[in-house]
A and B are shown apart, each in its own frame.
Chain A
Amino acid sequence: MNSGRVSTPHVLLGLLATGDKHGYELKRAHDERLPQARPLAFGQVYATLSRMQRDGLVTVAGQERDGGPDRTTYALTGEGRAALDRWLNDVEPPYPYVTSTLLAKMAVALLVADVDRVRACLAAQRQAHTARLRELTVLKHAPSATLDDVVAADFAIAHLDADLKWLATTLSRVADWHREVRHEPAPGP
């Protein structure tokens, strides 16, 4: 999949815009809204919140400590709200750099391996992508799937589908690509 990194601070700002929350509630809300994403680690939630507090985007709204763990409740500040609105209004730059571990790996494989080895890499990757595509297709059509699940699965499916088409095209081009990179002449007629 492509490398679009999620801006966790902005997601947390958005979650706080729906009401004050403490760290655990934020983690839960995050994992619920983004069901197929990597679950947020507690450490990351607290580290992000303290940075956001330092920058004046959130503020402590209350503290509760009846014997249990520390429960600091956070609230969005006016500045935080403005930052959130700016983020929502900004259009994401569409692929400013073409970066992908997969693409980089194939480019390197071309330098160090023969055509058959590169072809085998591509084919193995296609197998793995296909397996994941099927997994998500099943998940999406499970009777228990919510629209959150469906929309998240759609996103991944669209990208896997595109990757698989790219893999197929590249498999067809790999011999020519290899020759070009190695500065070898094209085969005779």
Chain B
Amino acid sequence: MSQLQARDLTRSYGRTPALRGVTLDVDEGEIVAVTGPSGCGKSTLLHCLAGILRPDAGEVIWRGERLDTQPEAARSRLRRTEFGVLFQFGQLVAELTAAENVALPLLLAGTGRRAARETALSWLERFGVAELADVRPGEMSGGQQQRCATARSLVTGPRVLFADEPTGALDTLTGEQVLTTLVRLAREQRTSVVLVTHEPRIAAYADREVTLRDGAVEHSGLELNVPSTGGAR
């Protein structure tokens, strides 16, 4: 079942059109790559889907209900409980350690302090950065920060992860390691992923690829063979 749908989305910034009628479905557990040249509207689409931006026209439907018309409080609750977001530069909270950063979404969702820390530690371990638990972002490399940020984006077991160029600032090998771990864990907990990237080799990890050009869907990728779940390492 399609759990997230965009219907004919239009969005402009002043007189600059960013989206001109985009329709897109994301199934439960599906990983969809959104690709296309710079400025084609990828980030705008992602922000509309995640309820961060409101489209000028069209609809965003989340599990059968309009999302875009809900008040900000409801949308932000959804982002805390059902969605995860991840950007190119981790955007960790500078004053908090890695473990505190990863525990933060759990605390906001009402998990107790000790349980939140334990879960955070296990997620840092899955991303191979357990030893950074008590280190602050300022003392980490970009790749280490991104591993922590990725752990943080998945820690609540969101139904959808919105990832905007999550490997854009990483070298090929580090990017691949972060992405394969992300994909494996997302599949394990059936988290759908909307993966914005301009790298063909990154898009190749998705089940389906949607290409935008000038704010419209150029082609929405026939489903080619689906990469296996188990093996990603």
> Which residues from chain A sit less than 8 Å from chain B, CB to CB?
123, 127, 129-131, 133-135, 137-138, 141-143, 145, 157-158, 160-161, 164-165, 168, 172
CB of B139 within 8 A of chain A? no
Q: Are A133 and B204 in contact (CB under 8 A)?
A: yes
Which residue of the partner chain A has the closest CB to B172? A158
Other CB < 8 Å A-B pairs besides A130-B224, A164-B200, 8 of them? A130-B203, A133-B200, A133-B201, A133-B204, A134-B224, A158-B172, A158-B201, A160-B200
Q: A130-B209, A134-B225, A134-B227 are in contact. Are A161 and B37 (CB under 8 A)?
A: no
Taking the closest CB of chain B, its distance from the CB of A66, in whole angstroms, is 44
Within 8 A of A (CB), among B192-233: 199-201, 203-205, 209, 219, 221-222, 224-225, 227-228, 230-233
Taking the closest CB of chain B, its distance from the CB of A34, in whole angstroms, is 21
> Which residues from chain B sit less than 8 Å from chain A, CB to CB?
37, 172, 180, 199-201, 203-205, 209, 219, 221-222, 224-225, 227-228, 230-233
How many inter-chain contacts with C-beta < 8 Å in the A-B complex?
A: 52
Q: Are B201 and A157 in contact (CB under 8 A)?
A: yes
A-B contact pairs, 19 of them (CB 8 A): A123-B219, A130-B200, A130-B203, A130-B221, A131-B225, A133-B200, A134-B204, A134-B227, A138-B228, A141-B180, A141-B227, A141-B231, A141-B232, A157-B204, A160-B200, A160-B201, A161-B200, A161-B201, A165-B200
Q: Which A residues are CB-close (under 8 A) to B230? A: 143
Q: Which A residues are CB-close (under 8 A) to B205? A: 137
Taking the closest CB of chain B, its distance from the CB of A44, in whole angstroms, is 32
Q: Which B residues are CB-close (under 8 A) to A137? A: 201, 204-205, 227
Q: A137-B227, A161-B199 are in contact. Are A130 and B232 (CB under 8 A)?
A: no
Taking the closest CB of chain B, its distance from the CB of A68, in whole angstroms, is 41
Measured between alpha carbons, how far is A122 from B78 in the docked complex, in Å? 41
Measured between alpha carbons, how far is A141 from B224 in the docked complex, in Å? 17
